[in-house]
Chains A and B, each alone.
Chain A
Amino acid sequence: MNDNTFSAESVHGAAPGDAVPADHDAAAIDADWPLYEVFVRGKRGLNHVHVGSLHAADDQMALRHARDVYTRRNEGVSIWVVRADAITASSPTEKDPFFAPSGDKVYRHPTFYSIPDNVPHM
């Protein structure tokens, strides 16, 4: 019996690290379902809005889980799901070069036009 048998990781059921040989090959079933991001178009809104995330084994299951988890209170008329690892996100470290330059360009807003009453959803 060596010390590694009772390492903190194994006691707490943590996932084996890279150094620990897994007892199944790469084709075996992953115990953790991949993460999906969920977008719902509500009756009130015009766009699909990000509402949260969930785990599912595949796209169809993700859609059904989204229905069960995020539209229980009559929120939605349409759902999009996408695997979280398929999303390319901007980095927080790039916040300033990305977004600060638009902070003072007031002329880019259509505030100098009068919007007719019957133009909705501006």
Chain B
Amino acid sequence: MHTANDDTTDHDSAYSGLVDLDEHDQWAFGTSFDDPLAGVDTTLADGIDGADLATYCLMLGDDALICAQRLTQWCAHAPELEEEVALANIGLDLLGQARLLLARAAAADPSVVPALPVGSPVPAEDALAFFRDESDFRCLRLVELDNGDFACSVVRLLAFSAHRLALLARLRASRDPVLAAVAAKGVKEVTYHRDYAARWLITLAQGTDESRRRTTEAIALVWPYVAEMFDPHPVEKRLAAAEAAVDSSTVRPEFDAVMTEIFTAAGLPHPQAVAAARVGGRAGRDGIHTEALGFLLAEMQSVARAHPTGRW
């Protein structure tokens, strides 16, 4: 950390105090970027199973990755330029989380990474994102649903970000130092995502008859997939017992309290929905997905898969 009062400060220029001396100093604006994993011990702590940790990182990483891809699809389609940038920013935040989590999954259990041709320069996190098949994805079905209209995307983002914020806030205490660091970074980001979505939900619900009708329809489409977010997977429970993960069923009360506050402000009834059916007791966390994910992956992965030795 450099300050203008360091003994070494050069007094020759009255402007030197305005320049921070961190790296990336060539940029006129935008400096001092932080590496979220700087100084973090990446070795596996005692009592944490590598395969379980990898699976858990894939769950949280795939949620972020697929949600980011859906948000990205708003580019050139959003109702306003400013909203387009906002949605893309949120997507980029999540993509950053996905990258760290997928990299952690690969480090915790290298066997989860798809095999690529010898000499391929594709890093492990990219191999996980672009070369895994649909049934190997562990994301919640909520994040893979089609974007629908703006109201639908707002409602989905609200549910997802409220769930993820409650989860990440607790995950900051994880015994896995990488998960804890990713969570600490993510909490600040997802706090904004939830605020963004909540403001829009209230605006749309209190807007015109049309915006309210669409919002009500969006809630009916999205809410059947909310229950799945709080259904803990066995891997999650094992890691929660090892104090490395958060049992997602424990964040439901916080989620419900936040939703009550937002839906009350929006003048909407608290959503009631029959949970979407699981398949033989399995759902997104087990690799059982809606038909939407296949189309999403085809679009997201086709270029990378056509050039497995490509350099980007």
Contacts and interface: CB of A to CB of B under 8 A. Distances in A.
Interface of A: 29, 33, 42-46, 54-57, 60-61, 64-65, 68-69, 72-75, 115, 117-122
B274 interface: no
B208 interface: yes
A74 B89 contact: no
B29 A56 contact: no
Contact of A55 (B32, B80, B208): B80
Interface of B: 4, 11-12, 14-20, 27, 29-33, 80-82, 85-86, 89, 195-196, 199, 203, 207-208
B265 to A, nearest CB: 14
A118 B7 CA distance: 12
A118 B16 CA distance: 11
A30 to B, nearest CB: 12
Contacts of A42: 29
A68 B89 contact: yes
Nearest to A66: B82
B14 A115 contact: yes
Contact of B82 (A45, A68, A75): A68
Contact of A29 (B17, B29, B80, B208): B208
Contact of B17 (A33, A65, A121): A121
A33 B82 CA distance: 11
A119 B13 CA distance: 10
17 contacts: A43-B32, A44-B19, A44-B31, A46-B18, A55-B82, A64-B199, A68-B85, A72-B85, A72-B89, A73-B29, A74-B29, A74-B32, A75-B30, A120-B4, A120-B18, A121-B14, A121-B18
Given A120-B4, A120-B17, 8 more contacts: A44-B20, A68-B89, A73-B30, A74-B30, A119-B14, A120-B15, A120-B16, A121-B15
